[in-house]
Chains A and B, each alone.
Chain A
Amino acid sequence: DTVLTQSPALAVSPGERVTISCRASESVSTGMHWYQQKPGQQPKLLIYGASNLESGVPARFSGSGSGTDFTLTIDPVEADDTATYFCQQSWNDPPTFGAGTKLELK
């Protein structure tokens, strides 16, 4: 299975720019997607196809990358962005998720 590696946690101040990385153990082309999950809630799709912003998601969120290295950027970060962010690949079977990056605000 394709393993997705994310850094476990980040802490930033409101108004700053933050990048969350996801590295795949093999190429996933642009079949990479990003979700936001707040405590006690279901995941919410933010970015699909590596760089496409889901409808209704603020333009502060953006995604980039292809192959094995991907980035989710939030600029500027707001207090409401406190959450865990998961990457998911759909290029290889089975689809897999990263372990998540917990974003905390200082």
Chain B
Amino acid sequence: EVQLQQSGAELGKPGTSVKLSCKVSGYNIRNTYMHWVNQRPGKGLEWIGRIDPANGNTIYAEKFKSKATLTADTSSNTAYMQLSQLKSDDTAIYFCAIPLIIRGGDYYVMDAWGQGASVTVSS
């Protein structure tokens, strides 16, 4: 069974950074892309970006280019997302997600998700 286990809740002060992790078991992350998606309180889902763990190549949504940094460690089968210069509107649940099966060349169909990590920004 494939599992994505995310790190715990984070409380960060404005202007600081947090780093979230997503450890995958049962599947080699080299064979897929790792996506990160957020969900602000009571809101919908928002794609942040993705990393190809095999080579470290990243793509970010425009609004997250200076906010998020995605990395991956294939030796531990773990992906990371650092959020910098935290502001109150970064308060959200952050999910990691992967496609286990690449359907028709589409790497953006996410069929396995982590449980989510809560980030709260407050002074």
Q: State whether the Cβ of A90 lies closer than 8 Å to any Cβ in chain B.
A: yes
Contact B95 A42 (CB under 8 A): yes
Which of B13-21, B67-75, B81-89, B109-117 binds A?
B109-117
Contact residues of A: prevailing secondary structure: loop
The A-contacting residues of B in range 87-109, CB under 8 angstroms, are 95, 97, 103-104, 106, 108-109
Q: State whether the Cβ of A12 lies closer than 8 Å to any Cβ in chain B.
A: no
Contact B44 A90 (CB under 8 A): no
Nearest residue, chain B, Cβ from A96: B47
Q: State whether the Cβ of A52 lies closer than 8 Å to any Cβ in chain B.
A: yes
How far, in angstroms, from A88 to B61 measured CA to CA in the complex? 15
Interface range, B side:
20 to 34
Q: State whether the Cβ of A70 lies closer than 8 Å to any Cβ in chain B.
A: no
Interface 0/1 of A85-106, CB less than 8 Å to B: 0101010011111111000000
Query: A90-B106, A90-B108, A90-B109 known; A42 and B115 CB under 8 Å?
Result: yes
Nearest residue, chain B, Cβ from A100: B44
Q: Show the binding face of A for B, using Cβ within 8 Å.
A: 31, 33, 35, 41-45, 48-49, 52, 54, 86, 88, 90, 93-100
